[in-house]
C-alpha cells in the first residue's frame, strides 16, 4: 500500500491527486447510489471539466463534527482512534484511492465518521444505513486490505449509530454496534472491476457516460456547456430518440391531466377541511400566506432608487425541442 502524506499538501495538489483515481465518495456515484452525484458528474470532475463541489453548510458541519463523532465512537466502543493523514493507494486496486477519517489503533480497522440531518433518520432504521456509505467503506477495505471498517453516524439532535463492516466470515457483532455486515471477497472483487470498467471506459478515452436523467447530471451538462457558440450540428441517428421524446411528452400530458382530476376530486371531497385520511394515504390541504416583492410597484413609488443592483443574475441556456410535423 502506498501512503501519500497530506499534511502540508495544498488544496490544489490534493484535488489533483484525487483526480487520478476514484475515491470512496466517488464509487457510490459510479454505482448509482448517490442522489447528489452521478457517473457523469464523476467523469466531468476527473477530466477537469467540472469544478470541485463548492463548500456548503452541510459539508462544513460534517468536517467540524468529525472529531466529535470519532470521540463518541471511542466512548461507545472503548477503541482508540487516530487521524491518518495520508491518501492511500494500492497496486491491487489501481483505480481506487482512500482518504480515511480515522484508523483504529492496534487493529487492521478504520472508521468513517458521518453527520446527517434529522430528516434522514429513517435511513438508519432497522439496522440499515445509506447504500452510498456502504460502498464507501467497502472501497476503503479494498484499498487498505484491512479486516474491518466501522461507520459512526451522528443524526443531528436525534441519534448516534455505529455499524461494523467486516471481511471476516462469522465475525460476531459487538454489543455496542447497531448492526454488522459481512463483506465477501466477491464484493470486493466486483467493486474493483466496477472501478476498472468505469475508468477504462470513460476516463482514459475521455468519453462521457450515458445521460441518466438525474438532476445532478443535468446541472453538470449546463455548467460544462454554459455558453453557446451560435453553430449548429446534425443529429445523425437521433430520430428515433426524438420521436420517443415527443411520445413521452404526450404521455406525460395525459398522466398529468389524470393526476389533476384525482387532485380536484379529493379537494371537492375535503371542502374546507385541512386533513383527510384513507387506507391508502393521508392528505393535507392547509392555508398559507406568501409574500412576494412587487418590483414594478416599488419602482413606481420610488422612481429614484435603481433596482438593478438587487436583482440576482443567473446564466443558463434554454433547451427546447420542437417537433417537425411530417408532410402528408
Distance CA 325, CA 328 (A): 9
Tell me what the mean pLDDT of segment 173-186 comes to.
95
**Per the structure block, which three cell numbers stand in for 310?**
438587487
pLDDT digits (tens, 9 = 90+) for 92-130: 999 999 999 999 999 999 999 999 887 778 887 777 888
Pick from 156-160, 245-249, 264-268, 291-295: least confident: 291-295
Q: Is 5 helix (H, G, I), strand (E, B) or coil?
A: strand
Is the pLDDT score of 321 beyond 60? no
Residue 244: closest CA among 323, 327, 326? 323
- State whether 245 and 111 are in the same domain: no
- State whether 249 and 105 are in the same domain: no
Residue 313: CB partners within 8 Å, gap ≥ 6?
none
- State whether 190 and 111 are in the same domain: yes
Please check whether residue 97 lies inside any domain of the structure: yes
Instruction: Tell me what pLDDT residue 319 has.
Output: 59
- State whether 52 and 103 are in the same domain: yes
Instruction: Tell me what pLDDT residue 123 has.
Output: 80
Residues found in the chain: 328
Instruction: Tell me what pLDDT residue 327 has.
Output: 64
Distance CA 48, CA 45 (A): 5
The crossing angle, in degrees rounded to 10, of helices 57-64 and 66-77 is 40
Tell me what the mean pLDDT of segment 238-242 comes to.
93
Tell me what the mean pLDDT of segment 311-319 comes to.
68
Please check whether residue 260 lies inside any domain of the structure: yes
Please check whether residue 300 lies inside any domain of the structure: no
**Per the structure block, which three cell numbers stand in for 91?**
497496486
Is the pLDDT score of 316 beyond 70? no
Please check whether residue 310 lies inside any domain of the structure: no
Please check whether residue 292 lies inside any domain of the structure: no
- Cα–Cα distances in angstroms (integers) from residue 82 to residues 38, 65, 181, 185, 233, in the given order: 32, 15, 23, 27, 56
Instruction: Tell me what pLDDT residue 313 has.
Output: 74
Beta strands in 76-133 (DSSP E): 81-82, 86-89, 97-98, 102-104, 109-116
Most confident of 16-20, 30-34, 144-148: 144-148
Instruction: Tell me what pLDDT residue 326 has.
Output: 67
- State whether 218 and 243 are in the same domain: no
Tell me what the mean pLDDT of segment 17-27 comes to.
94
Tell me what the mean pLDDT of segment 57-74 comes to.
90
Please check whether residue 314 lies inside any domain of the structure: no
- Residue 225 dihedral angles phi and psi, to the nearest 5°: -110, 55
Q: Is 150 helix (H, G, I), strand (E, B) or coil?
A: strand
**In the beta sheet, which residues pair with residue 277?**
282
Please check whether residue 104 lies inside any domain of the structure: yes
Whether the model pTM is above 0.85 = no
Is the pLDDT score of 320 beyond 80? no
Is the pLDDT score of 9 beyond 80? yes
- Residue 282 dihedral angles phi and psi, to the nearest 5°: -115, 145
Instruction: Tell me what pLDDT residue 262 has.
Output: 93
- State whether 34 and 176 are in the same domain: yes
> By residue range, what is the domain housing residue 26?
2-223
∠195-51-316 over CA atoms, to 5°?
120
- State whether 61 and 201 are in the same domain: yes
Average pLDDT over the chain, rounded to an integer: 90
Domain with residue 7: its CATH number is: 3.90.320.10
Beta strands in 94-218 (DSSP E): 97-98, 102-104, 109-116, 148-155, 159-166, 179-182
**Per the structure block, which three cell numbers stand in for 205?**
478515452
- State whether 133 and 7 are in the same domain: yes
- State whether 219 and 257 are in the same domain: no
- State whether 89 and 152 are in the same domain: yes
Tell me what the mean pLDDT of segment 207-230 comes to.
91
pLDDT digits (tens, 9 = 90+) for 72-88: 999 999 999 999 999 99
Q: Is 188 helix (H, G, I), strand (E, B) or coil?
A: helix
Please check whether residue 307 lies inside any domain of the structure: no
Residue with cell 446541472: 219
- State whether 265 and 167 are in the same domain: no
Residue 216: CB partners within 8 Å, gap ≥ 6?
35, 36, 37, 38, 40, 41
- State whether 186 and 263 are in the same domain: no
Tell me what the mean pLDDT of segment 188-211 comes to.
96
Distance CA 123, CA 159 (A): 12
More confident residue, 324 or 47: 47
pLDDT tier at 328 (50, 70, 90 boundaries)? Answer: low
pLDDT tier at 51 (50, 70, 90 boundaries)? Answer: confident
Instruction: Tell me what pLDDT residue 80 has.
Output: 97
Distance CA 270, CA 69 (A): 47
**Tally of structural domains, the chain:** 2
∠291-296-297 over CA atoms, to 5°?
70
Amino acid at each position: 500500500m502506498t501512503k501519500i502524506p497530506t499534511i502540508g499538501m495544498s488544496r490544489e495538489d490534493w484535488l489533483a491527486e484525487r483526480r487520478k483515481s476514484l475515491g470512496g465518495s466517488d464509487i457510490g456515484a459510479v454505482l448509482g447510489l448517490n442522489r447528489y452525484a452521478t457517473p457523469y458528474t464523476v467523469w466531468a470532475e476527473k477530466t477537469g471539466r467540472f469544478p470541485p463541489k463548492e463548500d456548503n453548510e452541510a459539508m462544513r458541519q460534517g468536517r467540524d463534527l468529525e472529531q466529535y463523532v470519532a470521540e463518541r465512537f471511542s466512548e461507545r466502543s472503548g477503541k482508540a482512534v487516530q487521524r491518518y493523514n495520508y491518501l492511500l493507494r494500492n497496486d491491487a486496486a489501481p483505480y481506487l484511492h482512500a482518504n480515511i477519517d480515522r484508523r483504529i489503533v492496534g487493529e487492521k480497522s478504520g472508521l468513517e465518521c458521518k453527520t446527517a440531518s434529522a430528516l434522514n433518520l429513517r435511513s438508519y432504521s432497522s439496522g440499515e444505513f445509506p447504500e452510498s456509505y456502504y460502498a464507501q467503506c467497502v472501497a476503503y477495505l479494498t484499498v487498505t486490505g484491512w479486516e474491518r471498517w466501522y461507520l459512526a453516524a451522528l443524526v443531528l439532535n436525534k441519534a448516534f449509530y455505529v455499524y461494523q463492516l467486516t471481511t471476516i466470515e462469522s465475525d460476531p457483532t459487538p454489543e455496542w454496534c447497531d448492526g454488522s455486515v459481512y463483506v465477501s471477497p466477491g464484493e470486493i472483487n466486483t467493486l474493483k472491476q466496477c472501478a476498472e470498467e468505469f475508468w477504462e471506459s470513460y476516463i482514459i478515452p475521455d468519453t462521457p457516460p450515458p445521460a441518466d436523467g438525474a438532476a445532478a447530471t443535468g446541472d453538470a451538462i449546463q455548467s460544462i456547456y454554459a455558453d453557446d457558440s451560435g453553430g449548429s450540428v446534425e443529429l445523425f441517428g437521433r430520430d428515433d430518440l426524438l420521436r420517443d421524446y415527443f411520445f413521452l411528452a404526450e404521455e406525460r400530458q395525459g398522466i398529468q391531466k389524470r393526476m389533476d382530476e384525482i387532485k380536484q376530486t379529493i379537494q371537492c371531497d375535503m371542502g374546507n377541511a385541512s386533513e383527510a385520511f384513507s387506507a391508502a394515504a393521508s392528505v393535507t390541504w392547509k392555508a398559507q400566506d406568501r409574500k412576494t416583492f412587487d418590483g414594478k410597484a416599488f419602482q413606481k413609488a420610488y422612481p429614484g432608487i435603481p433596482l438593478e443592483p438587487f436583482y440576482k443574475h443567473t446564466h443558463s441556456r434554454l433547451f427546447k425541442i420542437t417537433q417537425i410535423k411530417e408532410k402528408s
